[in-house]
Amino acid sequence: MSTGQSLSRKLALVLLLWVCAFTLPWTIQASLCVVLIIARYAVLPLRPITPRSAKAFSRFILYSIAVATFIILLNGLLIKEGAVAAKVFGIPLHKEGLLFGARTASRLLLLSFSILLFFVSTSLPDLIEHLQTKGLPPYLALVLLLTLHFLDQLPARIHQIFLAQQARGAPVDSGLLSRTKALFSILSPLVLSSIVESIERGTALELRGFLQRPQVARVIKRSESETDWLTISLILLALAVLIYRIVQWLIA
């Protein structure tokens, strides 16, 4: 399976899940969230590609539990409709509110998990490369890649600056006020030199002919659009869900 194919399938899956998030009942959405969490471990192409993204996913599971709990409880508390369904520490929670909360939370989490699952299982440079074959302008692709490069370099830069300022007596290891000042003396060179350097880099790009001739800017072998049945069925399924929902709504 080519990277492009796997990416198209995942994008189609995200589309389907987003359609579900706005159409299906919340119980199905909540179960889909659980399915997604299981899929992260069970389905090979959906596994996180780096330890960092695996950690991000685990962290988000915890975060999502907290968000869901808060959304459900707060709405149960604040929307005073329907019978009192439960009492927490003597505070009454209403049925309609809890249901509203559950609907909101499952929708939010389904949307979020589908995005996150897509990103943790995808290498960003690969994604950008793929999007470029699908017509993403080269300068946008370059901006995204450069951003990743900057983020990559940032810790080392900060360390260098930290050393240089420390050597000039910046009080990095005492009191809160002076630490704030020291923070300033580290962030300023970072921003200043990064801006200066980024403009120099831009000049270097121009000097290597980037965007000189927009019409031939990048000769990318456009991948032959092979028909991938899984991608197509996912998209069709999304359409079906949408149509079903619209019909249901028209009848009602």
- Footprint on residues 136-155 left by another protein (CB under 8 A): 137, 139-140, 142-154
Of 8, 75, 106, 231, the one binding another protein (CB under 8 A) is 75
Assigned token pair, 249: 């709504």
Residue 211 interacting with another protein (CB under 8 A) = yes
Task: Please report how many Cα atoms fall inside a 13 Å half-sphere around the Cα of residue 95, on the Cβ side.
Answer: 4
Looking at 5-13, 32-40, 66-74, 226-234, which segment touches another protein (CB under 8 A)? 66-74
Looking at 31-39, 183-191, 224-232, 241-249, which segment touches another protein (CB under 8 A)? 183-191
User: Least CB distance from residue 152 to another protein, whole Å?
Assistant: 8
C-alpha separations of 208 from 173, 199, 204 in Å: 44, 14, 6
Looking at 38-46, 63-71, 87-95, 227-235, which segment touches another protein (CB under 8 A)? 63-71
Looking at 32-40, 88-96, 208-216, 244-252, which segment touches another protein (CB under 8 A)? 208-216
Residue 202 interacting with another protein (CB under 8 A) = yes
User: Least CB distance from residue 114 to another protein, whole Å?
Assistant: 8
**What part of residues 84-113 is at the interface with another protein (CB under 8 A)?**
100-101, 104, 107-108, 111-113
User: Least CB distance from residue 229 to another protein, whole Å?
Assistant: 28
**What part of residues 35-54 is at the interface with another protein (CB under 8 A)?**
53
Residue 70 interacting with another protein (CB under 8 A) = yes
- Number of residues lying near another protein (CB under 8 A): 89
Contact present, 45 and 117 (Cβ < 8 Å)? no
Smaller CB separation from another protein, 133 or 236? 133
C-alpha separations of 65 from 21, 48, 71 in Å: 18, 20, 10
Q: What is the CA radius of gyration of the chain?
A: 25
